[in-house]
Structure 1
């Protein structure tokens, strides 16, 4: 007989407890690591914590506290070893892997001579927009979990992992949690809508003036307001962060340039 599905409040309590323990472990690890690698302490602590619990067929401290256990889609046995392993990888490195993949696709688009400038612009703006809404996709998933239950991590959902109760659930204010889920969901959807609207606006602007000097207040490369404008050899203007950063080709005409050919515009203010 299948055990009852874990309630959203129990899953949230378990996640909060585990997040606290992982942060404490990361703080201890960062003290043992050099300053250069201190930023790696957080993902490393998550891998260590999950490897010593989830991968060993054990409850995490948070799951034990809330009285819940991870199960597969049948709700009557533990997830397979590989399901648990992939869920840990996706939950810890999923966003970073996705951003690297998007960046790799951007490079391929920029270097593809068979694409027209218009097609490249559309693809690049779409990829940058996708990269900017990745956190909101996580928030949408979390909001749905608050409302209808299920794991809070997308990695667990993608690998078919859920939770069941192994002891009676404690009293919880589910109505308040559902309200939080609705608010989280609405905020994430509005944020995604704003990003999509900005992307559409930029694509419309590029269609109108594809080969003229950009006089808009927004940088086409990062979709943000131009700060410390710089002009490239082709005559197009971008913010300094993009001009001296990852940008290697003009985002408008695809002309390659070197960093020493970028000219800062000290007294130029886009109108």
Structure 2
């Protein structure tokens, strides 16, 4: 006899509980780690929490609270070890992996001398728009889960994991949750539309400039006009925010650099 599919509100309640416990664990880990590694506490806490529950074929605290259990696509068996492990890794690192892939393609476009300047500029702007849309993909998936049911995490959907009830639950469908899903979906689509509009606007601006990516006038890392210019040891110019941000190698020649080797140019005007 097949168990009933978990209702969206029960799945949401379980996810909220688990998210709360993971954040508490992340806070404790952040206090133990050096300050430069504190950002790693969040994915580490997610992996630790799920490794001692989901990976061992046990309910998480949130799932136990809501009375739901993970199942595979047949709704008769527990998910395989491979499916559970993949869903955990996707939930913890999926967004970072996607952004890393997009950055890889950006570097390939910049380094590809066979591309025409117009095509190069177009590809860079499109990749930047896709990078801005990445967070909205998860919001769209969450909204669809509110409306149609299913797991909140995109990683579980990608690996075919779903939920069933193991104890009686309220039969009523939560209309307010469906409304929340519609509102979340509209908000995500609006945010995606804004990203596409900004990309299109940027393309129009670039079409009025010389048909090349000029690293002395525009920052190749963020594709914006250089603000507070800095020069690296390799001689390429970037924004100060990019140099002291996530950038660890030159976006043009891939030369590694450290933050203490970045030279701010206080009286330099890009393109002069």
Please say whether Structure 1 and Structure 2 have the same fold, judged by a TM-score greater than 0.5: yes
TM-score by length of structure 2 reads: 0.82
SS at match of 1:123: helix
Closer/same/farther in 2, CA of residues 141 and 229 from structure 1, 3 Å limit: same
Measure, in 1, the Cα distance between the counterparts of 2:81 and 2:209.
55
- State the match for 2:192 in structure 1: 192
CA distance in 2, matches of 1:267, 1:110: 23
Tell me by how many angstroms 1:171 deviates. Answer: 6.7
Q: Secondary structure at the match of 1:133?
A: helix
Alignment root-mean-square deviation, CA: 3.1
Distance 1:230 1:188 in 2: 34
Segments of 5+ residues of structure 1 without an aligned counterpart are none
Q: Distance in 1 between matches of 2:96 and 2:12?
A: 24
| Aligned CA distance change for structure 1 residues 227 and 173 (closer, same or farther; 3 Å) | farther
How many angstroms apart in 1 are the aligned matches of 2:133 and 2:90?
A: 17
Q: How many pairs are equivalent? A: 255
Q: Does 1:76 pair with 2:62?
A: no
Shift of 1:54: 0.4
TM-score, length basis structure 1 = 0.82
Contact 2:220 / 2:251 at 8 angstroms: preserved in 1?
Answer: no
Contact 1:198 1:223 in 2 (8 A): no
Does residue 132 of structure 1 match 2:142? no
For 2:103 and 2:230, the matched residues in 1 are separated by 24
Superposition deviation, residue 95 in structure 1? 0.4
CA distance in 1, matches of 2:102, 2:169: 42
Cα separation, 1, equivalents of 2:153 and 2:20: 16
CA contact (8 A) 2:230 2:240 kept: no
Shift of 1:121: 0.8
Matched, 1:63 2:55: no
Match of 1:163, SS? strand
Distance in 2 (CA, whole Å) between partners of 1:64 and 1:127 is 41
Report the alpha carbon displacement of residue 228 of structure 1 after superposing the two structures with TM.
3.7
Partners of 1:70 and 1:163 within 8 A in 2? yes
Stretches of structure 2 that go unaligned for 5 or more consecutive residues are 232-236
Provide the C-alpha distance between the structure 2 equivalents of 1:18 and 1:241, rounded to a whole number of angstroms. Answer: 35
Query: How far, CA to CA, are the matches of 1:30 and 1:213 in structure 2?
Result: 40
1:262, CA displacement in angstroms? 7.8
On the 8 A contact 1:229/1:265 being kept in 2, the answer is no
Deviation at 1:242, TM superposition (A): 4.4
- Residue 44 of structure 1 corresponds to which residue in structure 2? 44
Counterpart for residue 17 of structure 2: 17
Matched residues in 2 for 1:249 and 1:31: separation? 33
Query: Is the contact between residue 229 and residue 240 of structure 2 (CA under 8 Å) also seen in structure 1?
Result: yes
Cα distance in structure 1, aligned partners of 2:135 and 2:230: 32
Matching residue of 1:113: 113
For 2:244 and 2:6, the matched residues in 1 are separated by 50
1:205 and 2:205 equivalent?
yes
Q: Could you tell me which residue of structure 2 aligns to residue 100 of structure 1? A: 100
Distance 1:262 1:21, change over 3 A: closer
What is the Cα deviation at residue 249 of structure 1? 6.3
| Separation in 1, partners of 2:171, 2:19 | 22
